[in-house]
Amino acid sequence: MSEEAAKLADGLEDRLESLSDLYSSDLISSSTLSSQLLELLSSREAKMYWDLTMKKDITARRMLMMLEDPDQWDEDSSSPEEERGKLLRKRLADVFLTPDQSYGRILERLLDTASLPHFESQVFSRSDRSSNKRSGAKLSVLD
């Protein structure tokens, strides 16, 4: 792993650990947890990490996930588009709350889940929107 990828992974894993601490202390609900996981995966850092380390193996990763749980794949891919956001959040929380995993492994599984063809538009379209936001106040001539 390159130095840049390792630095990105460390930051993302620290954020996962913080979310874990908040959740285990009952400071955030499972709904908030899943939304925060989606925000984390939509971040520029997560996208860069994905591009540097995992993207080249996307086909193999998708096939492996399909083979590991074909019933879940069928359920996820056949769900209506308007329900996929909710379904993605549930899947992310399930991955995150799987016991006895390192934060590095959790990060990898979260990114694998987010990059599935039936979910990737939910994550990466959010990423594109956040990078196109303009900072500062909008003023009009009437102000």
12-32 pLDDT, tens digit each = 999 999 999 999 999 999 999
* In the predicted structure, residue 123 carries a pLDDT above the cut 90: no
Going from the C-alpha of 42 to that of each of 48, 51, 121, the distances in angstroms are 10, 13, 10
Question: In this structure, what is the dihedral angle of CA atoms 67, 68, 70, 73, given to the nearest 10 degrees?
Answer: -100
What is the average pLDDT across 34-48? 95
Both structure tokens of 128: 């594109």
Query: Is the model more confident about 84 or about 143?
Result: 84
| 126 pLDDT tier (thresholds 50, 70, 90) | low
pLDDT at 120: 87
| 59 pLDDT tier (thresholds 50, 70, 90) | very high
Whole-prediction pTM: 0.83
| 8 pLDDT tier (thresholds 50, 70, 90) | very high
CA-to-CA distance for 140 and 137, rounded, in angstroms?
10
